[in-house]
Structure 1
Amino acid sequence: MMMAFLQHTWYMTWRHMKPMLRRPIMIVMSMIQPIVWLLLFSGLFRKVVDIPGFETDSYISFLLPGIIVMNALFVGVFTGMGTVIDLNNGVIDRFLISPVERVTFILGKLIQQAVLFVVQSLILIVLSVMIGAKFSGPIYGVFIVIAGAVLLGVAVGALSIGFALITRRIESMVSMMQFITLPLMFLSSALMPQDLAPAWMKVVGYFNPVNWAVLTGRNAFRTNADWEVVLLNGSFVLVFAIVCVLLSTRAFRAYQRSV
């Protein structure tokens, strides 16, 4: 049973990996916006480090974990587009009459997205180093930054697939996802420390999954990492990802009952 599940998961993952491997340029094309933000914000706000209370003297080093998380967030928003296309083309209906494990329809796409997030995060890190970012923290902090972004991206991707199965329209799915994710991004500490934000934004940050991922990565990058903050926020992101995957699976079962 487990072997069949793993085989089906690999098959569905490889189905989504093949287009990415055939056109690797799409890996970069899908992250144009985060690259522009990295270059733009790192120059536009570089003087904010002079504000008393700012936690570092390098804004680009401060910004990078937020940009990595934002990249995973926005790529995850559009994950459901492929699901809508499969629905409209009857692909999922054909798979439903096959012996493939149903949950692998979702897991395959999410695993492919996780691989994409890792590659894109490494590209962003290399680019940031090229334009002046310096990191004094441990090297494994890089992996923690990427892990936090991947978990958030998987969570948002799962929600996107769930909304795709419910709405069955790309426009509706994207609108709903952006309505949720845009406020979460700007209410996080991705661009500015929480200590410099209004009090009500700090309160929102305690319940903001985007902020959890940013704090996980940013604290892991520091020389004297606050591991309590890393573990606590990392655990929150992990639980959030699990819940989102379960909700997406439930949406798939609801779709299956409707056909």
Structure 2
Amino acid sequence: MTTLTVHTGHLTMRGLRAMLRQPAFVVIMLIQPMIWLLLFGQLFRRVVEIPGFAAEHYIDFLTPGVVVMTVLFSSGWAGMAFIEDMDRGVMDRMLSSPASRGAMMASSMAYQGVTIGIQSVVIVLIGLVAGARFAGGVLGVLVMLVAAVLLGAAFSSLSNGMALLVRTRESLIGFSTMLTLPLSFLSSAMLAKEVMPDWMATVAAYNPVDWTVVASREALSADPDWAAVLVRLGGLLAVAVAMGWIATRAFRSYQRSL
């Protein structure tokens, strides 16, 4: 195995062990999306009666949207782990060690991928209990998980890169909130594009969050347009790779400022 792979594996396990030592965090991580799904599912359940709304049952429509919103909010906070390492002096020790900078970023992305997978499966199960039916079956769910992990990789990298630049919790919280809320509402996570204002639908077409939602819903449908799914997955992969590369370069900025 390459050095990058070995280092990534060790650092990923470090993050997972830290998560398991905080059972309260694990419970909150699972409960929050369940609350979103059940509350939003009841609050907006009659929205499908709007002419042109592309869904028969809102819970079917909402479940992939909640998966994507959970990914966005979870990965937006990924940089907090970097800031904690900075505050404790761990980051400086790691940067002076033979640990690969790429592995430090990749391990954060891998850790987010594991948590995203757990959250997404829980949301799907709760959705099924609440009455959701996914004609795309297991394959559709797997495609949704792939799309969610790619989105999480992109936004966790962005969060990590910002953490290396701003180095304070308050600044990262402000940046994450400023970014995640608009991107969530400028997508079809909760409402179909058919009922959006034209300008919002246009913006959504260029929004990676919407790419994830559309690819997920399409894969879960009875007759998926796999070309549309693959195009969006390819776009998400490109964004994730670009964000990972840019965020890794932020280590240089952090080291120069020491």
- TM-score normalised by the shorter chain: which range applies? over 0.9
* Alignment partner, residue 172 of structure 1: 171
* Alignment partner, residue 54 of structure 2: 55
* Alignment partner, residue 201 of structure 1: 200
* Identity percentage of aligned residues: 41
Find runs of 4+ consecutive structure 1 residues off by over 4 angstroms: none
Structure 1: gaps (5+ residues): none
How far the C-alpha of 1:63 sits from its partner, in A, is 0.5
* Alignment partner, residue 131 of structure 2: 132
* Alignment partner, residue 29 of structure 1: 28
Alpha-carbon deviations, 1:175-202, whole Å to 9, x = none?
A: 0121112101001000011011110011
User: Could you tell me the TM-score, scaled by structure 2's length?
Assistant: 0.96
- 1:242-257, aligned counterparts within 5 Å? 242-257=241-256
How far the C-alpha of 1:147 sits from its partner, in A, is 1.1
How far the C-alpha of 1:257 sits from its partner, in A, is 3.0
| Residues in 2 aligned to 1:153 and 1:188: alpha-carbon distance in whole angstroms | 16
How far the C-alpha of 1:59 sits from its partner, in A, is 0.5
Using the TM superposition, name which of 125-134 and 27-36 deviates more. Answer: 27-36
User: Could you tell me the TM-score, scaled by structure 1's length?
Assistant: 0.95
Structure 2: gaps (5+ residues): none
Please say if residues 27 and 116 of structure 1, whose CA atoms lie closer than 8 Å, have aligned partners that are also in contact. no
Please say if residues 31 and 71 of structure 1, whose CA atoms lie closer than 8 Å, have aligned partners that are also in contact. no
CA distance 1:171–1:32, change in 2 (3 Å): farther
Using the TM superposition, name which of 18-27 and 104-113 deviates more. Answer: 18-27
Please say if residues 46 and 59 of structure 1, whose CA atoms lie closer than 8 Å, have aligned partners that are also in contact. yes
What RMSD in Å do the two structures reach over aligned CA positions? 1.4
Please say if residues 13 and 112 of structure 1, whose CA atoms lie closer than 8 Å, have aligned partners that are also in contact. yes
Please say if residues 141 and 219 of structure 2, whose CA atoms lie closer than 8 Å, have aligned partners that are also in contact. yes
Q: Which amino acid aligns with 1:68?
A: V
How far the C-alpha of 1:26 sits from its partner, in A, is 2.5
SS of the residue aligned with 1:57? coil
* Alignment partner, residue 102 of structure 1: 101
Q: Which amino acid aligns with 1:199?
A: D
How far the C-alpha of 1:19 sits from its partner, in A, is 1.6
